[in-house]
Amino acid sequence: MSEAADTRTPAQIEADIRHRRERLAEALDEIGVRVHPKTIAADARAKVVEGVDRSLGRAYVRANRLATEVRRQFVDDDGRPRPERIVPAALVVVGLVGLLVAGSRRRGR
C-alpha cells in the first residue's frame, strides 16, 4: 500500500469501500443485462436485420446499375428511343413468348 492509503481516516476508507461496492454492483448489473436471453436474442436479431438491410442495399444498387445499362442500350444520351435497337429486341421477346406458348400447348394435349 502507498503512504497515502496509510494516512486515510476510517471514514475515507469506508467511503472508498462504498464507492468500490457501487462500481462492482453496476458492473454486475451490466453483465446480467448482457447475458440475459432477451438481450442476446435482441442483439442477434439486430445483427440479422443489419445484414439483410446491407444485402438488400447492395441488391438495389446492382439492380439499379443493370437497369441503367439496359436503358442506355435502348435510349440515346438525349433520352430519345433507339428504334434500331428496340425493334430487334422486341422481335426476340415476341419470338420467345411464341415459343413458350407453343410449347405449353403441346404439353397440354
Q: Confidence band (pLDDT; 50, 70, 90) for 1?
A: low
Largest CA-CA distance found in the chain, in angstroms, rounded: 104
Kindly calculate the radius of gyration of the chain based on its CA atoms and give it in whole angstroms: 35
The pTM assigned to this predicted structure is 0.46
What pLDDT, on a 0 to 100 scale, did the predictor assign at position 44?
A: 93
| Phi, psi dihedrals of residue 75, rounded to the nearest 5° | -135, 135
Which tens digit of pLDDT belongs to each residue from 32-45? Answer: 988 999 989 999 99
Q: Give the residue, 15 or 108, on which the prediction is more confident.
A: 15
Is residue 29 pLDDT above 80, yes or no? yes
H/E element holding 109?
none
What pLDDT, on a 0 to 100 scale, did the predictor assign at position 3?
A: 53
Distance of CA 60 to the CA centre of its chain: 12
| Distance between CA atoms of residues 64 and 80, nearest Å | 20
Those residues whose C-beta lies under 8 Å from the C-beta of residue 30, and which sit 6 or more positions away, are none
As given in the structure block, the three cell numbers for residue 52 are 439483410
- 78 in helix, strand or coil? coil
Q: Confidence band (pLDDT; 50, 70, 90) for 98?
A: very high
What pLDDT, on a 0 to 100 scale, did the predictor assign at position 2?
A: 54
As given in the structure block, the three cell numbers for residue 39 are 438481450
Residue pair 86/74 in contact by the 8 Å Cβ criterion: yes
Domain ranges of the chain: 3-80, 81-109
Which tens digit of pLDDT belongs to each residue from 67-80? Answer: 999 888 899 888 89
